[in-house]
Amino acid sequence: MNHHSPAALYPEIQPYRQSTLALDNIHTMYWEESGNPSGTPVVFLHGGPGAGSTPAHRRFFDPAYYRIVIYDQRGAGRSTPLGETQDNTTPHLINDLESLRQHLGIDRWLVFGGSWGSTLALAYGEAHPERCLGFILRGIFLCRKQEIDWFLYGLRNLFPEAWRELVAPLSDTERNDILSAYHQRLMNPDPAIHMPAARTWSTYEGSCSTLLPNPATVRYFASDTVALGLARMEAHYFMHNIFLPENSLLNNVHKLHNIPATIVQGRYDAVCPIVSADDLHHAWPQAEYIIIDDAGHSVWEPGIQAALIRTTDRFKTRNP
């Protein structure tokens, strides 16, 4: 009996195809496909921005049913150059998704993303609704000013120890504008300046991502590739309010009302507090909304992981 328990990760698989795609004169994108080459296409949007994707991300999808497309957004993960902010904006990332879709000969795909991946999924869907079979979104982040301020200041209310580590390198004056102070360090070409800043920023996020302390999560966030891509890209995007008009994600969500969608949110998500998911669901009442009562932000929180896998399984019967 090869019976899949309804909430367990699917077994580890290898890609049947992986390559890179030149996006422009600067950026090259890593992409891979696994699962069923003639299955329903699903694209995985990683978080951050800048965190990159991992082999474990393949395991949210039934490989017998789905054609699983995973890639690293420009400046992140295995895409090159790592941490490059030039020509790196949300409109660029939306166009990159379209380039990848066309390159792979895909007409429409299911869009799966958490945290910043949910932000990009909404931005992409609102630009190209006709290309989306559906959405599975987690840990909603709309990148509004209040959300960025919460991440840099409000989190101190729940994680004062982690916040103290974040601001330890900063002067008293710099603490009034944590974002600019970090942006300055992260953009410094000298690794002796940008790497410690990247690790501190990324460790802060990792430390606040789970309901209960999880050293493995913190170690992952502190690793060099994740830290540099994530910290530099987050500071870059936050400094520019994600290169989209204010509140555009909520203002345009009506374009998605007829597309099947599920939103999964941890009640105690400290990084992307539930009020954003609530705002999104209010603007998108047609979407299924699942609150996980004993979870924080991380996709690996047991309740969140289980709900996402149940959702990808249910989408197998929802698709046209």
Q: Of 53, 62, 269, 298, which is the active-site residue?
A: 269
Q: What is the pLDDT of residue 117?
A: 98
Q: Which residue has tokens 């959405």?
A: 135
Q: What is the pLDDT of residues 184-198, one digit of tens each?
A: 999 999 999 999 999
**Assigned token pair, 156:** 């101190």
Query: Residue 1 pLDDT more than 50?
Result: no
Residue 266 C-alpha from the chain's centroid = 15
Edge-to-edge strand list for the sheet holding 28-35? 17-22, 28-35, 66-71, 40-45, 109-114, 132-138, 261-266, 288-292
Active site residue 269: yes
Superfamily of domain 17-144+244-318: Alpha/Beta hydrolase fold, catalytic domain (3.40.50.1820)
**What does the domain layout of the chain look like in residue ranges?**
17-144+244-318, 146-242
Task: Give the integer Cα–Cα distance in Å for 53 and 215.
Answer: 19
Assess whether 297 carries a catalytic annotation.
Answer: yes
In the predicted structure, residue 50 carries a pLDDT above the cut 70:
yes
> In the annotation, is 294 catalytic?
no
SS3 257: coil
Options 53, 79, 115, 209, the catalytic residue: 115
Tens of pLDDT along 223-240? 999 999 999 999 999 999
Question: Please, are residues 207 and 19 in contact by the beta-carbon 8 Å criterion?
Answer: no
Averaged pLDDT score across all residues of the chain: 96
Identify which of 64, 41, 52 has the alpha carbon closest to the alpha carbon of residue 111: 41
End-to-end CA distance of the chain: 29
> Residue 284: what are its φ and ψ, rounded to 5°?
-140, 65
The confidence band for 263, taking pLDDT boundaries of 50, 70 and 90, is very high
Q: Which of 107, 128, 304, 153 is nearest to 214 (CA)?
A: 304
Active-site annotation holder among 207, 281, 297, 298: 297
318 confidence band (pLDDT: 50, 70, 90):
confident
